[in-house]
Amino acid sequence: MDNFNFYSPTEFVFGKNTEENCGELVKKYGGTKVLVHYGSAHAEKTGLLGRVTASLEKSGIPYVKLGGVKPNPRDTLIYEGIELCRKENVDFILSVGGGSCIDSSKGIAIGVLYDGDVWDFYAKKVSVTKALPIGTVLTIAAAGSEGSGGSVVTKEEGGLKRDVGSDLLRPKFSILNPELTTSLPAYQTACGATDIMAHVFERYFTNTKEVEITDRLCEAVLLTMVKETPRAIKDPKNYDVRANIMWAGTVAHNDIVGVGRSQDWNSHGIEHELSGLYDCAHGAGLAVVMPAWMEHVYKHDVMRFAQMAVRVFGCEMNFENPEATALEGIYRFRKFLHEIGMPINFEELGAKEEDIPVLVEKFGIGDGQTWGFVRLKKADVEQILMNAVKAEL
Amino acid sequence: MDNFNFYSPTEFVFGKNTEENCGELVKKYGGTKVLVHYGSAHAEKTGLLGRVTASLEKSGIPYVKLGGVKPNPRDTLIYEGIELCRKENVDFILSVGGGSCIDSSKGIAIGVLYDGDVWDFYAKKVSVTKALPIGTVLTIAAAGSEGSGGSVVTKEEGGLKRDVGSDLLRPKFSILNPELTTSLPAYQTACGATDIMAHVFERYFTNTKEVEITDRLCEAVLLTMVKETPRAIKDPKNYDVRANIMWAGTVAHNDIVGVGRSQDWNSHGIEHELSGLYDCAHGAGLAVVMPAWMEHVYKHDVMRFAQMAVRVFGCEMNFENPEATALEGIYRFRKFLHEIGMPINFEELGAKEEDIPVLVEKFGIGDGQTWGFVRLKKADVEQILMNAVKAEL
């Protein structure tokens, strides 16, 4: 097992009606003037935004509002948020939405306290040394940003999608009410579930041997998602199903399922170029990329893919031919994604084979290679995307 | 799923040589004068204590030392620690040892800032509202106190063993170096492993339905322990095995495997009377009590015990007779405990049947009943202890 630090200081407040506590929680963590940052008109229509601001008012905490976060959040709104926070002397950001909203809030949180261009953090020119504190009221189980120190943002100009990470970006508190997710359409539910599973797989495929505890924790989240996701599609109002998925989404990405070993993250990197170019849902892009990546790399460690097949997808181990088990596991994962309504190839995603050179170019490794479970060169990325173009069951 | 708060803000610093960071970590969390609290001469002999104090000196942090913590830590040493901290103006406690040492440190941490008798907290007369910050350097995988907000202490006079819990008692940081555990004798290793598994089982047996994610996380820790414990007994110097067990011990007790549902804890309650009376190792007491408790309560939810049998102990499900599967699971658990060298009945533990009335009396429920998976009355506790007296494979 590799040495590691694990630090997840966020207070998670989970369950029905928990958004009513947000005023008191902001106060507990020292906020005196709040930016309420949110996404769509959905939060307004459902009354959630009203309940959040009512809670702030009840706790005597003044606030300003900034809506308009889009999926694949843009740098442009972050600049606007930074300016607003400075003008209004905001000292706490309350993010009401999904991963995009939280990631946008994190961008604002580091930008407010930085004299230069906030994109410097995403371009890896500077590291995060301070940030405004953040709280979240989560509305979709997917990105895990409510418990993570990461933020992924798209540069409006050119569609570059880049990330920044720091423990300073972990929210002080996150309110998770599964009831807020029961009205999500099936497609968004499935996109979120795919993202959650991908967060685990990025950590599951490792070159570090003998980390049984982390393997088993990964499998715990994956088994939960395999059981609960189809139930959420069929029975969207089922509270317990939504609750299991919502908490699994947090556990999948606060790194408890990743510690003590090398991780991969190449599927995420490749997908970012797809959603950067086509503005598709991140989860949908992952559904297309991840099995294609698996097909390209499984020979690197056949037994690890066989383990996934047996432990997660209930395959019988083929002791005479472990490779067949490995491939059966990948097949079942893609079939699972298809059955929950995800695209599994370029056509279904709305991507085009002729764009592959552009996607590879934007991926930006030049003649180098990536880090990860299998280090990818340009030709590997091309092959993975080609696998994705023509994938079928 | 029930509403819950999950808050585990401890920074875990895991791996080889990590104790060398303790000076910097104390500084990071604001300590300026430290009490180094430790247990046996072991920490001195192995040089660990020297490495810890050298790290404090390197960071320019003055300290005083207080050794002498025993297994089943006593209130008497806590009083001594409180006095020393006040005299020396200590503002940070660094605990170098196992669960007993950390629990003793937590007692001191709340006692220093309280005008009354620190036993008031354990007697549940007052709640914790403040505590000195604590850091730990863990030397045995077992109690999980390095990540929990709990402390269990024995009153020297009368042998009453009682607990206190508060998020304020969660350590600021915990240093976990598995190398420190490779010299542990097999018996202590097995006691620790039993405690870890018991911490999971206390959470696994719940009356809350449909908490798949927490079930699976529980099973992840249990499966790891079933695999790794016999390896640690056979091959004590194996770093990876020790690392898996050490991290499993933390995950088992920071409540990530317990959230969203009712828990039990009656086996711990009953065991506390055993180790209170006989001063036996807590893990050894649990090995005797827990399977006996399972035998007494399994009919309350046969399918949950069958799930444990199948998912954790690899039993084949008997679809015609689930009860047989449930009982097979309990048998395999006891057999596992026997095989790792744990006592499984009163005689092997050094307990006496004729003491049962005393044990039941000390358990102190009178004519009432406990909380938990199955609410126990006096007669149930007697029966569980009787099961334990005569247990065999």
SS3 A227: helix
Q: Tell me which chain B residues have a C-beta less than 8 angstroms from the C-beta of A18.
A: 3
pLDDT of res. B373: 98
User: What is the spatial distance between Cα A244 and Cα B372, in angstroms, rounded to a whole number?
Assistant: 22
Note whether A100 and A248 are same-domain residues: no
- For chain A, what is the domain count? 2
Cβ pair B13:A2 closer than 8 A: no
User: Of B180, B195, B217, which residue sits at a domain end?
Assistant: B180
Contact B230, B339 (CB under 8 A): yes
Note whether A118 and A227 are same-domain residues: no
Q: Tell me which chain A residues have a C-beta less than 8 angstroms from the C-beta of B2.
A: 15
How close A219 comes to chain B (CA, Å)? Answer: 8
Note whether A281 and A372 are same-domain residues: yes
Residue type at A265 in one-letter notation:
W
pLDDT of res. A328: 98
Asked, for residue B148, whether it belongs to a domain, the answer is yes
Note whether B225 and B359 are same-domain residues: yes
Contact B26, B20 (CB under 8 A): no
B221 near A CB under 8 A: yes
Asked, for residue B229, whether it belongs to a domain, the answer is yes
A18 near B CB under 8 A: yes
Kindly report the length of chain B.
393
User: What is the spatial distance between Cα B40 and Cα B101, in angstroms, rounded to a whole number?
Assistant: 9
How close B369 comes to chain A (CA, Å)? Answer: 29
Contact A259, A231 (CB under 8 A): no
Asked, for residue A4, whether it belongs to a domain, the answer is no
- The predicted model scores a pTM of 0.97
B18 near A CB under 8 A: yes
Note whether B238 and B121 are same-domain residues: no
Note whether B159 and B200 are same-domain residues: no
Please report, for the domain that includes residue A17, its CATH number: 3.40.50.1970
pLDDT of res. B8: 96
B371 near A CB under 8 A: no
Note whether B222 and B117 are same-domain residues: no
**Span B268-320, pLDDT tens digits:** 999 999 998 998 999 999 999 999 999 999 999 999 999 999 999 999 999 99
Domain that holds residue A289: 185-389
| Angle in degrees, CA B370, B373, B374, rounded to 5 | 60
Cβ pair A247:B213 closer than 8 A: yes
Contact A41, A68 (CB under 8 A): no
Note whether A198 and A272 are same-domain residues: yes
Note whether A80 and A202 are same-domain residues: no
Residue type at B102 in one-letter notation:
I
Note whether A190 and A124 are same-domain residues: no
pLDDT of res. B291: 98
User: Of A152, A180, A208, which residue sits at a domain end?
Assistant: A180
User: What is the spatial distance between Cα A391 and Cα A345, in angstroms, rounded to a whole number?
Assistant: 5
User: What is the spatial distance between Cα A198 and Cα A193, in angstroms, rounded to a whole number?
Assistant: 9
Per-residue pLDDT of chain B (393 residues; tens, 9 = 90+): 999 999 999 999 999 999 999 999 999 999 999 999 999 777 888 899 999 999 999 999 999 999 999 988 999 999 999 999 999 999 999 999 999 999 999 999 999 999 999 999 999 999 999 999 999 999 999 999 999 999 999 999 988 889 999 999 999 999 999 999 999 999 999 999 999 999 999 999 999 999 999 999 999 999 999 999 999 999 999 999 999 999 999 999 999 999 999 999 999 999 999 998 998 999 999 999 999 999 999 999 999 999 999 999 999 999 999 999 999 999 999 999 999 999 999 999 999 999 999 999 999 999 999 999 999 999 999 999 999 999 999
B223 near A CB under 8 A: yes
Nearest chain B residue to A11 by CA distance is B7
Note whether B133 and B258 are same-domain residues: no
- Which residues, given as ranges, of chain A have pLDDT below 50? none
Numbers of helices and strands, H then E, in chain B? 16, 8
Cβ pair B260:A243 closer than 8 A: yes
pLDDT of res. A44: 82
- Residue labelled with tokens 């939504």: A242
| Out of A15, A213, A241, closest to residue B4 by CB | A15
Contact A169, A109 (CB under 8 A): yes
Fill in the DSSP letter of residue B205.
S
Cβ pair A3:B15 closer than 8 A: yes
Q: Tell me which chain B residues have a C-beta less than 8 angstroms from the C-beta of A217.
A: 217, 220, 251
Asked, for residue B3, whether it belongs to a domain, the answer is no
Residue type at B47 in one-letter notation:
G
pLDDT of res. B38: 96
Asked, for residue B235, whether it belongs to a domain, the answer is yes
Asked, for residue B4, whether it belongs to a domain, the answer is no
Core vs surface per residue A254-276: b (16+ CB within 10 A) or e: bbbbbbbbebbbbbbbbbbbbbb
Fill in the DSSP letter of residue B117.
-
φ/ψ (deg, to 5) at A14: -115, 130
Kindly report the length of chain A.
393
pLDDT of res. A190: 98
Please report, for the domain that includes residue A252, its CATH number: 1.20.1090.10
Asked, for residue A97, whether it belongs to a domain, the answer is yes
Rg, chain A, Cα only: 20
Core vs surface per residue A28-62: b (16+ CB within 10 A) or e: eeebeebbbbbbbeebeeeebbebbbebbeebebe
State chain A's maximal CA–CA distance in angstroms.
Answer: 68
pLDDT of res. B253: 96
Tokens of B107: 């007692």
- From the CB of residue B229, how many other CB atoms can be counted at a distance below 10 Å? 25
Asked, for residue A176, whether it belongs to a domain, the answer is yes
Contact A169, A150 (CB under 8 A): yes
pLDDT of res. A390: 92
- Return residues 142-181 of A near B (CB < 8 Å): 178
| Out of B11, B212, B224, closest to residue A244 by CB | B212
Note whether B362 and B234 are same-domain residues: yes
User: Of A164, A180, A196, which residue sits at a domain end?
Assistant: A180
